[in-house]
Amino acid sequence: MASGVDAALVLPDLAAIRAAHARIAPYVHRTPVMTCGAIDADVDASLFFKCEHLQKVGAFKARGACNAVFSLDDDVAGRGVVTHSSGNHGAALAYAAKRRGIPACVVMPRNAPKVKQANVARFGATVRLCEPTVTAREATCDEVMRETGATLIHPFDDPRVIAGQATAVVELLEAVPDLDVVIAPCGGGGLLSGTAIAARSLEPSLRVLGAEPANADDAARSFASGRVEPLPATTTIADGLRTTLSPRTLAALRTHVGTIGTCSEVGILRAMRMIFERMKQVVEPSSSVPLACLLERTLDVAGARVGIIVTGGNVDLDTLQWS
Amino acid sequence: MASGVDAALVLPDLAAIRAAHARIAPYVHRTPVMTCGAIDADVDASLFFKCEHLQKVGAFKARGACNAVFSLDDDVAGRGVVTHSSGNHGAALAYAAKRRGIPACVVMPRNAPKVKQANVARFGATVRLCEPTVTAREATCDEVMRETGATLIHPFDDPRVIAGQATAVVELLEAVPDLDVVIAPCGGGGLLSGTAIAARSLEPSLRVLGAEPANADDAARSFASGRVEPLPATTTIADGLRTTLSPRTLAALRTHVGTIGTCSEVGILRAMRMIFERMKQVVEPSSSVPLACLLERTLDVAGARVGIIVTGGNVDLDTLQWS
């Protein structure tokens, strides 16, 4: 690391994102872009949905995980990778490790749904259960690293992961070159910061906007205050967005993102139902947050050509309640 | 009509299907073909899903309705069209008439769900309610025809409609030229007969198979006996397949279709859930019947490259029960 550079704030540039795109191409789908005239009419804009719910493991997370895993030197990779996500990043890391042929361990709280444990295990990764606290998760990760020499691949606070997530918008802009706006949901900010860096490097006049549930609006508050604001206990159904920014992702947002809109829980369900019924696509609540912000007019895109990253489609149909 | 030809048995040939394809091209989507490795592994075959749930009005019915409506001479068309389908054909006819700028009337039973009435009305068609009996539906249709001079567009027993439905498999074979088998669900047999005529004309060695719920197995029974067998009161959740063949569609099936598989109601739900969870596609129960037959091994396609027509995605999420 060059002196004077804070490692905790390093972000990928366009060259790193292009390198990531080439690196992961054999392992991820180039997902389609969908449009829906009936939804356009309701939001007074032309929407272009980048369909990462059709990505490997059903989420954009496959991109970041593959870039991180395939960036490792052989000797480091051989000792395996570890993470502490119970959601899509856990499955994505398991998938990436399987493709590289290296061990992966995903630390999950004991109370994580069996379906999520199975989703990780089906790619051959080890599931290591711990108490459902942040402290226990981190301690268990440290333990795995000490025992095996595995490398930690953080769900979002890692320049390699951010560069990987950024490749979705690179493809979107190749498919639809004349966008005015791009919107991505914001949890830890890995996708949004990568999207913003890539989009603004490729098209400096593009507006990049974030979207999050009002019930988990730490990003909007952090964006306003300039420091990482804590996320109180949250009840949002958008389970992918229950995470706080890191100083790294906040720095990227403050530089490249125009604003962050928030939406109600009812709005998320309404947007999700609209995507099911009109687009016939199964998306998870987090994926519906940008459309919810448009429907509730907390993001202003009137008349614009708008790209939206649809982040994933891993929804538990057994617990899904439409009202 | 040439003497010696029974009008009730006239079927389209490949030339008529190609003409239909050119005629409807401006009004319908060329839908994508999707694959899913995880489902392939479960059925020991390579499946290619022709995604008509992404078609206009959310169903392949847009093809047949558009072909019929745009086949009419101007003076005939000007008097409008009428049908008595409460399902996807009603919405498809309303859509086709709107695109041509002519009146459409859809006769529906008084107890038809409001959502289906709204689906027709949103394209500007008139909804005419009648008592929920076949006699009342037909009498009401006759009344509309007498009053307005409208042309009846039958949901399936019409060579123009059959030719239109056949265009889906034409596109499928252009996208995936080396299929061994094509499977379509069978209700009244319009889609299956058109699919069989087109596929076998283009590729005489192709096997074309039908699929229907065991709870509505009139097509399998008619196919075996050689005459149209009645459909007893049925309870299948595959609401698009609660119809009996006509002598016309039965004749096509007996000539071109290899066999008709049947599946259980539980199997339909299981297949539908698999498509939701693994392919992230919202499909209606009828669309899931071919996959259900493969999972229950009532159709044998081991090792083959299999095209499946996914017929529609209009499912009522409020009443959807996964078990």
Measured between alpha carbons, how far is A47 from A307 in angstroms, rounded to an integer? Answer: 6
Measured between alpha carbons, how far is B158 from B243 in angstroms, rounded to an integer? Answer: 15
Residue % of chain A over a pLDDT of 90: 84
pLDDT at site A26: 98
The number of beta carbons lying within 10 Å of the beta carbon of residue B276 is: 21
- A72 near A128, Cβ under 8 Å? no
- From chain A, the residues in CB contact with B58 under 8 A are 280
* CA-only gyration radius of chain A, Å: 18
Measured between alpha carbons, how far is A89 from A131 in angstroms, rounded to an integer? Answer: 19
The pLDDT-based confidence of A4 (bands split at 50, 70, 90) is low
pLDDT at site B3: 56
Helical (H) or strand (E) element with B161: helix B159-175
Q: Across chain B, what does the average pLDDT equal?
A: 95
Partner residue facing B280 (CB), from A281, A318, A322: A281
Contact flag A277-B53 (C-beta cutoff 8 Å): no
Residue % of chain A over a pLDDT of 70: 98
Partner residue facing B317 (CB), from A32, A276, A318: A276
The stretch B71-91 carries a mean pLDDT of 94
The stretch B231-253 carries a mean pLDDT of 91
| Res A1 pLDDT > 80 | no
- From chain B, the residues in CB contact with A280 under 8 A are 53-54, 58, 281-283, 313
pLDDT at site A118: 83
Contact flag A317-B277 (C-beta cutoff 8 Å): yes
Residue range A72-110, pLDDT digits in tens: 999 999 999 999 987 899 999 999 999 999 999 999 988
Residue range B20-66, pLDDT digits in tens: 999 999 999 999 999 999 999 999 999 999 999 999 999 999 999 99
Which residues, in sequence order, are CB contacts of B321 under 8 Å at separation 6+? Answer: none
Contacting A with CB below 8 Å, chain B residues are 32, 53-54, 58, 273, 276-277, 280-283, 313, 317-318, 322
The pLDDT-based confidence of B254 (bands split at 50, 70, 90) is very high
- From chain B, the residues in CB contact with A32 under 8 A are 32
Which DSSP symbol is given to B281? B
- Strands of the sheet with A104-109, listed across from one edge: A126-130, A104-109, A81-83, A151-152
The number of beta carbons lying within 10 Å of the beta carbon of residue B149 is: 13
pLDDT at site B172: 98
Instruction: Name the more confident of A118 and B247.
Output: B247
Measured between alpha carbons, how far is A244 from A300 in angstroms, rounded to an integer? Answer: 24
- B212 near B241, Cβ under 8 Å? yes
The stretch B154-180 carries a mean pLDDT of 97
Which residues, in sequence order, are CB contacts of A183 under 8 Å at separation 6+? Answer: A208, A209, A210, A211, A290, A293, A294, A299, A301, A306, A307, A308, A309
Measured between alpha carbons, how far is B216 from B180 in angstroms, rounded to an integer? Answer: 27
The stretch A142-147 carries a mean pLDDT of 96
| Res B281 pLDDT > 60 | yes
- Angle of helix B159-175 relative to helix B14-24, nearest 10 degrees, comes to 80
- From chain B, the residues in CB contact with A317 under 8 A are 273, 276-277, 322
Q: How far is A75 from chain B (nearest CA, A)?
A: 31
Residue range B204-239, pLDDT digits in tens: 999 999 999 999 999 999 999 999 998 887 789 998
pLDDT at site B4: 66
If we measure between CA atoms, which residue out of A295, A290, A298, A220 comes closest to residue A48? A290
pLDDT at site B1: 45
The pLDDT-based confidence of B187 (bands split at 50, 70, 90) is very high
Residue range A287-302, pLDDT digits in tens: 999 999 999 999 999 9
The pLDDT-based confidence of A194 (bands split at 50, 70, 90) is very high
Residue range A49-62, pLDDT digits in tens: 999 999 999 999 99
The stretch B166-177 carries a mean pLDDT of 98
In chain A, at which residue ranges do the beta strands (DSSP E only) sit? 33-34, 46-51, 81-83, 104-109, 126-130, 151-152, 181-185, 207-213, 259-263, 305-310
Measured between alpha carbons, how far is B270 from A124 in angstroms, rounded to an integer? Answer: 25
Q: Phi and psi for B189 in degrees, rounded to 5?
A: 95, 5
| Res A63 pLDDT > 70 | yes
Chain B residue closest in CA terms to A36: B54
pLDDT at site B184: 98
